């Protein structure tokens, strides 16, 4: 029934298996990829014809994680997989970016590539498996795909590169989390987060990854030799030579003049006029010829711009190849935000804000690994007005999610630890102008806004976008590329980092890969550009502010003994709820006894802190405390004087004079000042009010003379001459018996009725 084809190899200590012919047989290509116990199914389908009037390549990649793969049921009301999560969107982009350039120019058939995670072992990351499965499915499908590609993840631990580490462990145990996709000949895509790696270390990681990708490419070729379908027969011959020659003759000079204008709006207007002139030249041609002419016009523009750069080193706006556009940055741009910055580089501009929150503001993420929480968020918005266009305005698209994550990776490695800075951080980037690398502007503006907010980052971070023009053996690397240079060039290469090293690197290639020489040149040129941008940023703010904004919440952290956690929380949370209600501060406590108290009002924090310390503090004999009467009994009053700790003020310790009833002196809820007289071995506390000035809290001299036991008084009391000698003589009878009895029970108070309550009760 099934014609199953399977290939396997040992790779990074696990078995990688690719299988086809058993599942999804009606798709043009379907591969079940298994690595460890992680299984991903990828199915590819392609339209057999092109829609009328279509002039672009509609490739759509969808990556989906099934919760059942990890033995979990989704959270939420519907209990099923819903719209794409951020991770699913980012992984879809990881698959799309390296495979899209490998389709021939002029191929416009719609293609669907759907990758679904069916099993997840908790160790093997499914994104890499999905990239391999997609490459294999496209290779055997018969569509004109100039692959295959391989993919892998690389870590860097103790100076050595590691293959396919778990994503969380890559940065927890090492300094690098790098994903690379490559053909057998060249690298196609790079995505990374790093802890300040040098250019040499990063380049070495990419080359290590390329060698490992070649092994995967060979495995996919082995599968294709057994199971590939017949390749499609498509006429992609270039028959536009005559049209191109006519266009150059009609508008070639106009296009060249337009690209010498440094202002984006003026350049755009001049190009639109040239395009209208070209359209008019083909007004009498057939509709199909008119459409070809419009597309060929883009090729004419590209040839003019690329030729000027390679031959004369002349860029669109007149800059040198390694020159960065003018930069202006300012902080404290917005009055009520916790931190803000306006960063402008040429015609690219972004407003970045930083908001600080408490643990309650952390982002909850429900994924295959289970629930997790993120204390750092970076959100990127790209409204249509930023490029002077009319367009959709609403929820972020894939591009916005991807650009935001790139900036997140750039800044995340320099953030302080939670112990040093226990805040939730949200950076928001609103792009207001765009003409080249708004994501790197987000890195720079986001860094400045965090510094303005008082986030103690390790070192400032800057970012730069590099471009490439490659014709045969000739190439030129461009620093700080414009939007047009991005569209007409062959590479978008973004690098961000500190003065010490790289924190993120992303590369997308529009041709069949680049060499080690080109990448090394781009990294070195990017390093100089980053240093220049850091210098310009320093003019606005050299280091993080030492004080938080007046509008930001304050968080104070205290550590208590784990045995005291129950006392702070109270039965059913009664005590901690009372602290929050009374003081107005937020209180979070973890299983290790770390308590975070937060509020925008320092007085509220101090009140909550004092309350908690009072609960966990041990009472000290001889020390004076302020307390509150919580209960009155016949023989005295119980006073809460240390949070959850109560003690007894016996009626005899309320005043230096006789007190008939405790209610004559105190009432419930009254604030009193007490001195600790005694703590017995069971923790019961005896307090005194009479030796403390109730107004000032100062200790008073105890003027009450010590009261001796009655049995020891000279003469033995009334009728001492008669009864005393009997006691002295040690004779039997009543007198001898009563003396010792009073001595045992007196405890300095004389009257057994005035015995301290904690002794009476026991």
Binding residue numbers for Mg(2+): 486, 492
Q: d(Cα 656, Cα 665) in Å, to the nearest integer? A: 12
Q: Taking a C-beta distance cutoff of 8 angstroms, is the pair 339, 454 a contact?
A: yes
Hey, which bits of 284-398 come out as E strands?
327-331, 339-345, 348-357, 363-367, 370-374, 376-381
Is the bond preceding 256 in cis, omega lying within 30 degrees of 0? no
Q: Taking a C-beta distance cutoff of 8 angstroms, is the pair 12, 96 a contact?
A: no
Q: d(Cα 648, Cα 367) in Å, to the nearest integer? A: 54
The pair of three-digit structure tokens given for residue 23, joined into one six-digit string: 């599942």
Counting beta carbons within 10 angstroms of the beta carbon of residue 360, is it exposed (0 to 12), middle (13 to 18) or buried (19 or more)?
exposed
CA 590 to chain centre: 20
- List C-alpha distances in Å: 675 to 265, 678, 698, 757: 80, 9, 10, 16
Q: d(Cα 539, Cα 71) in Å, to the nearest integer? A: 53
CA torsion 222→225→227→230, rounded to 10°? 140
> What 3-state class would DSSP assign to 696?
coil
Q: d(Cα 152, Cα 150) in Å, to the nearest integer? A: 7
Kindly list the strands in the beta sheet with 339-345, ordered across the sheet, starting from the edge strand earlier in the chain. Answer: 327-331, 339-345, 348-357, 424-433, 376-381
Read off φ and ψ for residue 48, nearest 5 degrees: -85, -10
Which residues on neighbouring strands pair with residue 156, listed in sequence order? 161
Q: d(Cα 452, Cα 291) in Å, to the nearest integer? A: 52
- List C-alpha distances in Å: 598 to 250, 422, 744, 752: 69, 10, 53, 51
Residues in the annotated binding site: 486, 492
Which helix or strand (DSSP H or E) is residue 685 part of?
A: strand 685-688
Q: What is the largest CA-CA distance in the chain?
A: 147
Q: d(Cα 434, Cα 264) in Å, to the nearest integer? A: 10
Q: d(Cα 284, Cα 294) in Å, to the nearest integer? A: 14
Q: Over 26-68, what HEC string results?
A: CCCEEEEEEECCEEEEEEEEECCCCCCCCCCCCEEEEEEECHH
Q: Of 473, 463, 402, 415, which is closest to residue 436 (Cα–Cα)?
A: 463
Which helix or strand (DSSP H or E) is residue 233 part of?
A: none
Q: d(Cα 410, Cα 502) in Å, to the nearest integer? A: 8
For the chain, how are helix, strand and coil distributed in percent, rounded to 5? 35, 25, 35
Give the residue carrying structure tokens 């750069």. Answer: 309
Which residues on neighbouring strands pair with residue 594, listed in sequence order? 559
If one counts every other C-beta atom within 10 angstroms of the C-beta of residue 123, the result is: 14
Total H helices, total E strands in the chain: 17, 29
> What 3-state class would DSSP assign to 646?
strand
Q: Taking a C-beta distance cutoff of 8 angstroms, is the pair 596, 422 a contact?
A: yes
Hey, which bits of 480-521 come out as E strands?
491-497, 502-509
């Amino acid at each position: 029934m099934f014609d199953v084809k399977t290939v396997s190899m040992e790779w990074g200590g696990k078995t990688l298996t690719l299988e086809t012919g058993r599942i999804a047989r009606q798709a043009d290509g379907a591969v079940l990829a298994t690595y460890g116990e992680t299984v991903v199914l990828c199915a590819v389908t392609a339209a057999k014809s092109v829609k009328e009037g279509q002039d672009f390549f509609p490739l759509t990649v969808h990556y989906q994680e099934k919760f059942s793969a990890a033995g979990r049921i989704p959270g939420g009301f519907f209990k099923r997989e819903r719209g794409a999560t951020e991770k699913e969107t980012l992984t879809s982009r990881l698959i799309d970016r390296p495979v899209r350039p490998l389709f021939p120019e002029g191929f416009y058939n719609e293609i669907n590539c759907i990758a679904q995670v069916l099993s997840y072992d908790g160790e093997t990351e499914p994104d890499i498996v999905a990239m391999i499965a997609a490459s294999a499915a496209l290779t055997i499908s018969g569509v004109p795909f100039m692959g295959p590609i391989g993919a892998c993840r690389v870590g860097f631990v103790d100076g050595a590169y590691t293959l396919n580490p778990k994503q969380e462990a890559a940065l927890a145990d090492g300094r690098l989390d790098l994903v690379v996709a490559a053909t057998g000949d060249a690298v196609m895509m790079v995505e990374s987060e790093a802890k300040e790696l040098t250019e040499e270390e990063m380049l070495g990681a990419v080359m290590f990854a390329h060698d490992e990708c070649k092994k995967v490419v060979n495995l996919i070729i082995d599968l294709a030799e057994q199971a590939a379908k017949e390749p499609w027969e498509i006429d992609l011959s270039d028959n536009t030579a005559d049209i191109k020659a006519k266009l150059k003759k009609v508008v070639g000079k106009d296009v060249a003049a337009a690209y010498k204008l440094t202002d984006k709006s003026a350049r755009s207007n001049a190009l639109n006029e040239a395009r209208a002139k070209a359209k008019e030249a083909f007004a009498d041609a057939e509709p199909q010829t008119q459409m070809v002419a419009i597309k060929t016009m883009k090729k004419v523009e590209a040839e003019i711009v690329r030729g000027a750069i390679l031959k004369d080193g002349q860029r669109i706006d007149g800059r040198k190849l390694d020159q960065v556009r003018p930069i202006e940055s300012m902080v404290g741009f917005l009055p009520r935000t916790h931190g803000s910055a306006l960063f402008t580089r040429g015609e690219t501009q972004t407003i970045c804000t930083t908001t600080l929150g408490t643990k309650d503001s952390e982002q909850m993420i429900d994924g295959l690994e289970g629930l997790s929480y993120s204390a750092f968020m970076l959100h990127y918005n790209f409204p249509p007005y930023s490029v002077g266009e009319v367009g959709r305005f609403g929820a972020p698209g894939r591009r916005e999610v991807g650009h935001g994550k790139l900036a997140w990776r750039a800044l995340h490695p320099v953030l302080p630890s939670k112990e040093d800075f226990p805040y939730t951080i949200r950076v928001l980037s609103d792009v207001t102008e765009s003409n080249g690398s708004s994501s790197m502007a987000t890195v720079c503006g986001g860094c400045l806004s965090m510094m303005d907010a008082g986030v103690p980052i390790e070192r400032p971070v800057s970012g730069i976008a590099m471009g490439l023009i490659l014709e045969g053996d000739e190439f030129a690397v461009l620093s700080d590329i414009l939007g047009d240079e991005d569209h007409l060039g062959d590479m978008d290469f973004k690098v961000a980092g500190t003065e010490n090293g790289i924190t993120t690197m992303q590369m997308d290639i529009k041709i069949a890969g680049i060499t080690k020489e080109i990448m090394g040149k781009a990294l070195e040129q990017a390093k100089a550009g980053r240093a220049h941008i850091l210098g310009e940023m320093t003019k606005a703010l050299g280091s993080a502010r030492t004080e938080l904004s007046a509008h930001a919440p304050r968080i104070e952290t205290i550590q208590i003994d784990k045995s005291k956690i129950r006392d702070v929380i109270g039965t059913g949370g009664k005590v901690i709820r009372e602290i929050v209600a009374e003081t107005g501060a937020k209180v979070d406590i973890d299983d290790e006894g770390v308590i975070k108290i937060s509020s925008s009002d320092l007085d509220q924090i101090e009140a909550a802190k004092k309350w908690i310390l009072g609960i966990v503090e041990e009472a000290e004999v001889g020390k004076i405390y302020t307390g509150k009467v919580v209960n009155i009994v016949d023989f005295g009053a119980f006073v809460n004087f240390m949070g959850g700790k109560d003690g007894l003020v016996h009626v005899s310790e309320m005043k230096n004079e006789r007190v008939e009833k405790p209610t004559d002196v105190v009432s419930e809820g009254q604030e009193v000042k007490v001195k600790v007289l005694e703590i017995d071995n069971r923790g019961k506390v005896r307090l005194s009010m009479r030796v403390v000035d109730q107004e000032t809290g100062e200790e008073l001299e105890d003027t009450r003379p010590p009261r001796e036991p009655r049995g020891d008084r000279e003469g033995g009391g009334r009728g001492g001459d008669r009864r005393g000698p009997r006691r002295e003589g040690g004779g039997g009878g009543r007198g001898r018996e009563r003396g010792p009895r009073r001595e045992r029970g007196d405890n300095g108070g004389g009257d057994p009725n005035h015995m301290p309550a904690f002794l009476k009760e026991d």
